[in-house]
Amino acid sequence: MEDFSNLTLAEIVNKNFLAATVFEKYNLDFCCRGNRQLKEVCMTNNLPLETIIEELKIIGQSNNSDLAYEQLSFTQLADYIVLTHHEYIKNAMPVLYRYLLKVATKHAAIFPELKKIFQIFVAIKKEMEIHLHQEETVLFPGIKKLEASPPGEKNNAVADDSFLETPIHLLEEEHNHAENFFEEIKELTNNYSPLSTACTMHKLCFSMLQ
């Protein structure tokens, strides 16, 4: 079991970037003052060490790692995607936006590529929000409706599934567009490899982007 109490804030975040959300909750600076041990910070600020450690353990747990996707119905798979991947993206994007804005504003003079990376991410964020909305309101309901159809009606629906062709085509185009954006970010970040002189938040941004 990981002994979080003796790790520094920066070490914990570098192991799992989701820890940043826990530290933010308690107003702990894991970036510029990330070299302090968790137990030291909690003692200094009169914070509940055990509670924070429990929260760090929870976010570190792998959820549904043994899920047998091939055994799920299309409806179950759609629900799983929305409840896990979509929720993760919706929660992570605003956090990453704040972090990228902060490092780009503060360190662009030293790392000029940060400004471009932030601009690309803003475009990705906008497209992803539209993409998720389309999946949740058009594609997935259409798939569920098709799967829930009685056998006779389902055969007719499968024969005439053109109502899904347009959203699927558009979503595929959006996937390709996003992939191009990330290829550009990958090049700008040297394959998500920050320099050793980069601050903790700078490194965290690259980890989250990857």
Q: N- to C-terminal Cα distance for the chain? A: 26
Contact of 113 with 189, CB cutoff 8 Å: yes
Res 164 pLDDT > 80: no
- pTM score, whole prediction: 0.75
Share of the chain above pLDDT 70, in %: 89
Instruction: Give me the pLDDT at residue 159, please.
Output: 44
> How large is the average pLDDT for residues 50-74?
76
Q: Which of 23-32, 43-52, 118-127, 158-167 has the lowest average pLDDT?
A: 158-167
- Predicted confidence (pLDDT) per residue in 67-90, tens digit: 666 777 888 888 888 888 898 899
Averaged confidence pLDDT in the chain = 86
Backbone angles phi and psi of 37, in degrees to 5? -70, 150
Position 64 scores a pLDDT of 46
Number of Cβ within 10 Å of residue 27's Cβ equals 8
| Greatest Cα-to-Cα distance within the chain, rounded to the nearest angstrom | 69
**pLDDT band with cut points at 50, 70 and 90 for residue 66:** low
Contact predicate 108/73, CB 8 Å = no
Taking the mean position of all CA atoms in its chain, how far away is CA 19?
A: 13
> What pLDDT score was predicted for residue 60?
75
Q: What is the pLDDT of residues 93-125, one digit of tens each?
A: 999 999 999 999 999 999 999 999 999 999 999
Q: Which residue has the higher pLDDT, 129 or 166?
A: 129
Domain boundaries, the chain: 4-60, 69-209
pLDDT at 126 over 60: yes
The Cα 53–Cα 4 span in angstroms is 6
